[in-house]
């Protein structure tokens, strides 16, 4: 419908002015966006809409002419989602264009009621579609943010701790599912490389249950570490877990397991050629005796 | 590059693989290593793969072959610097690189081979056993 | 909106090129480092199969778009002798030193989707895909 395009073009300035004025009354979030920025965006969107209507018509949103408008609205929507605008505020940005647009249409076509109705209908459908587009882009941006935060949470909740030179500890708290184990595994292996640690103690005191899948993941981590030249010790194996492991027939032949983290640490220290020396009496040390961990 | 350089450090052979190897290059390396061990009487081979982003079954077999052939010639092999992503993939592939000893770094590798390294003496590592 | 490219697998250098190409596409699609490595390694295995067992062939790379998800699909096709017993081939590991293991079973574990078609005397086609 080329009439719509013409109406917009001929009334462009007035439409834009009214649009901005309406937005100023209700929508302006001056805490999040400056007036100048808002004006700039509005101008760009209006131009893009004009181009869309002129090139591909007001109904076919997938047409080439609408590319600019679509990309522009997606960008605006995503960035506003990140800035903290509400979904209504983002959609209203587009929808508030209706009032000035309808006013312009009425001005131009007041003589012919049927035509007026048709044009308004086409215009409202067009703007509805654009508003839906912004809402979808908003949702997509939010989901991406949530996914990123989930990832960060997973990484933070399983820190790799350096116990001593060359000895790492990985205390796992909570249930291990497939994706979490992957993150944990990669994190551990990366830390092994960056700290040049030959020993990694995986403490599962905080893991409520171990099923075949979890055991498989742990075994893969241990095998990968071994391939790289490091050794893993599993500690914190509670009696129930020990029973489950045997019942499930999980083969831990090649894996060193200890009930207590302290035992695992002692083993790692010993394997790396260190010994722990205690001073002769509490608070005092005899000449020559060193309290602490002695590097061989 | 038409050949991966094999460097000599006393009784040690040092090989750093930095390129994405095609098959001929890998086979050439196998040849060169065995040649050099014979020529120089080397007792240790250190292969640094810290720059290798891919180890597929062919490269894996190459490494295992080098270790096996070197052993027959009286030399021990250590592969160092495997990247985490590579290790994870090898485990998934099901490759365990039998007969290939590994270490995290060149220094750790030399320790494994000779039991002592530049300036820092530690108790020699023996096989893992029950504590 | 899928992008698509075909690479020949005629000599051992082509395998290296195929690896690099897959790596680049995976990077462009922002796959994680581990996922990249798995995909490139699988590509290396399958490209090698097509070359040595299939007497040469080609690899097709294609991006996949399914709603919100993006992925990468690789197709390895050759017109070689074909595989008489696919199940057996999938089971063969890297066991014997003769290296007859086709690495098929291993590759399957590195990808999300795996499909193999083969006809004796006609050739083989392996399709794999990995999603982000």
Nearest CA in chain A to B102: A229
Cα dihedral angle (A42, A46, A49, A53), rounded to 10 degrees? 170
> For residue B88, which residues of chain C lie inside 8 Å, CB to CB?
34, 37-38
CB contact under 8 Å between B56 and C101, yes or no, is no
A140 has a chain C CB within 8 A of its CB: yes
Instruction: Enumerate residues 6+ apart whose C-beta is below 8 A from C90.
Output: C104, C105, C108, C116
Model confidence pLDDT, tens digit, residues B21-36: 888 999 999 999 999 9
Sequence ranges of the domains in chain A: 2-150, 161-281+288-295
CB contact under 8 Å between A186 and B88, yes or no, is yes
Q: Which of A25-39, A226-240, C91-105 shows the lowest per-residue confidence on average (mean pLDDT)?
A: C91-105
Task: Give which of A116, A129, A115, A120 is closest to A101, Cα–Cα.
Answer: A120
Sequence ranges of the domains in chain C: 4-131
Q: Which residue reads 């051992």 in tokens? A: C12
Read off the pLDDT of each residue in A156-169 and give the average, rounded to a whole number.
88
* CATH of range A2-150; options 1.10.490, 1.10.3470, 1.20.144, 1.10.287: 1.10.490
Read off the pLDDT of each residue in C91-99 and give the average, rounded to a whole number.
49
For residue B17, name the pLDDT band (cuts at 50, 70, 90). Answer: very high
Could you check whether A2-150 and A161-281+288-295 share the same CATH topology?
Answer: no
> For residue B58, which residues of chain C lie inside 8 Å, CB to CB?
44, 48
Strand order in the sheet with B12-16: B6-9, B12-16, B44-48, B76-80, B101-103
Rounded-to-integer distance, Cα A144 and Cα B98, Å:
43
Distance from CA of C58 to the nearest CA of A (A): 32
Domain C4-131 sits in CATH at 3.30.565.10
DSSP B54-114: ---HHHHHHHHHHHHHHHHTT-EEEEE---HHHHHHHHHHT---TT-EEESSHHHHHHHHH
Nearest CA in chain C to A136: C68
Domain A161-281+288-295 has CATH 1.10.3720.10: no
CA A73 to chain centre: 22
DSSP C34-90: HHHHHHHHHHHHHHHIIIIISSSEEEEEEEEEETTEEEEEEEEEE-SS--S-HHHHH
**Length of chain B, in residues:** 131
Do β-strands B44-48 and B12-16 pair in parallel, antiparallel, or remain unpaired? parallel
Nearest CA in chain C to A185: C34
- Ordered by where they begin, the domains of chain B are 6-114 (3.30.750.24)
ipTM: 0.87
Phi then psi for residue C97, to 5 deg, are: -65, -15
Phi then psi for residue A33, to 5 deg, are: -150, 140
**What's the mean per-residue pLDDT of chain A?**
85
Do β-strands C113-119 and C69-78 pair in parallel, antiparallel, or remain unpaired? unpaired
Give the pLDDT score at A224. Answer: 95
Q: What are the structure tokens assigned to A201, written together?
A: 């103690």
Model confidence pLDDT, tens digit, residues A253-292: 888 999 999 999 999 999 988 888 877 665 554 555 556 7
Task: Give which of B81, B80, B65, B79 is closest to B33, Cα–Cα.
Answer: B65
């Amino acid at each position: 419908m080329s009439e719509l395009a013409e109406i917009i073009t001929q009334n462009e300035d007035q439409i834009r002015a009214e649009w901005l004025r309406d937005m100023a009354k209700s929508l302006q979030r001056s805490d999040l966006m400056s007036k100048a920025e808002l004006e700039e965006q509005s101008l760009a969107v209006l131009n893009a809409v004009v181009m869309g209507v002129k090139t591909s018509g007001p109904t076919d949103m997938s047409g080439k002419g609408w590319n600019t408008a679509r990309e522009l609205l997606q960008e605006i929507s995503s960035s506003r989602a990140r800035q903290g605008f509400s979904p209504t505020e983002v959609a209203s940005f587009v929808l508030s264009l209706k009032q000035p647009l309808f006013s312009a249409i009425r001005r131009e076509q007041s003589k012919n009621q049927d035509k007026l109705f048709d044009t308004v209908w086409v215009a409202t459908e067009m703007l509805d579609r654009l508003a839906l587009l912004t809402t979808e882009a908003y949702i997509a941006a939010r989901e991406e943010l949530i996914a990123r935060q989930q990832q960060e949470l997973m990484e933070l909740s399983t820190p790799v701790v350096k116990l001593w030179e060359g000895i790492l500890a990985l205390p796992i708290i909570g249930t291990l599912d497939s994706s979490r184990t992957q993150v944990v595994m990669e994190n551990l292996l990366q830390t092994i490389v960056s700290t040049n640690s030959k020993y990694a103690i995986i403490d599962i005191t905080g893991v409520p249950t171990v099923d075949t899948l979890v055991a498989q993941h742990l075994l893969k981590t241990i095998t990968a570490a071994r391939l790289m030249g490091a050794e893993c010790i599993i500690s914190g194996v509670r009696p129930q877990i020990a029973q489950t492991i045997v019942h499930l027939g999980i083969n831990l032949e090649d894996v060193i397991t200890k009930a207590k983290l302290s035992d695992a640490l002692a083993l790692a220290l010993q394997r790396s050629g260190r010994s722990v020396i205690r001073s002769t009496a509490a608070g005092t040390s005899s000449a020559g005796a060193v309290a602490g961990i002695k590097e061989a | 590059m038409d050949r991966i350089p094999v460097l000599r450090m006393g009784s040690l052979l040092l090989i750093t693989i930095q390129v994405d190897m095609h098959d001929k290059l890998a086979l050439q390396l196998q040849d060169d290593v065995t040649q050099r061990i014979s020529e120089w009487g080397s007792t240790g081979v250190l292969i640094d793969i810290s720059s290798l982003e891919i180890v597929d079954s062919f490269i894996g077999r190459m490494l295992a072959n080098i270790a096996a052939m070197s052993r027959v010639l009286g030399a021990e092999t250590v592969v160092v610097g495997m990247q985490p992503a590579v290790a994870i993939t090898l485990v998934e592939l099901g490759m365990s690189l039998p007969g290939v000893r590994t270490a995290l770094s060149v220094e750790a590798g030399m320790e494994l081979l000779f039991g002592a390294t530049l300036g820092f003496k530690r108790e020699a590592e023996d096989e893992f056993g029950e504590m | 909106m899928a992008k698509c490219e075909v690479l020949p697998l005629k000599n051992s250098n082509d395998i290296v090129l195929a690896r690099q190409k897959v790596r680049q596409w995976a990077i462009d699609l922002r796959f994680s480092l581990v996922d990249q490595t798995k995909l490139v390694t699988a590509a290396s295995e399958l490209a090698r199969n097509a070359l040595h067992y299939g007497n040469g062939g080609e690899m097709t790379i294609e991006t996949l778009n399914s709603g919100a998800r993006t992925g990468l699909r690789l197709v390895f096709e050759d017109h070689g002798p074909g595989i008489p017993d696919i199940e057996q081939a999938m089971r063969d590991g890297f066991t014997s030193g003769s290296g007859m293991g086709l690495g098929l079973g291993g590759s399957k574990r590195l990808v999300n989707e795996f499909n193999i078609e083969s006809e004796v005397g006609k050739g083989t086609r392996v399709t794999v895909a990995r999603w982000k």
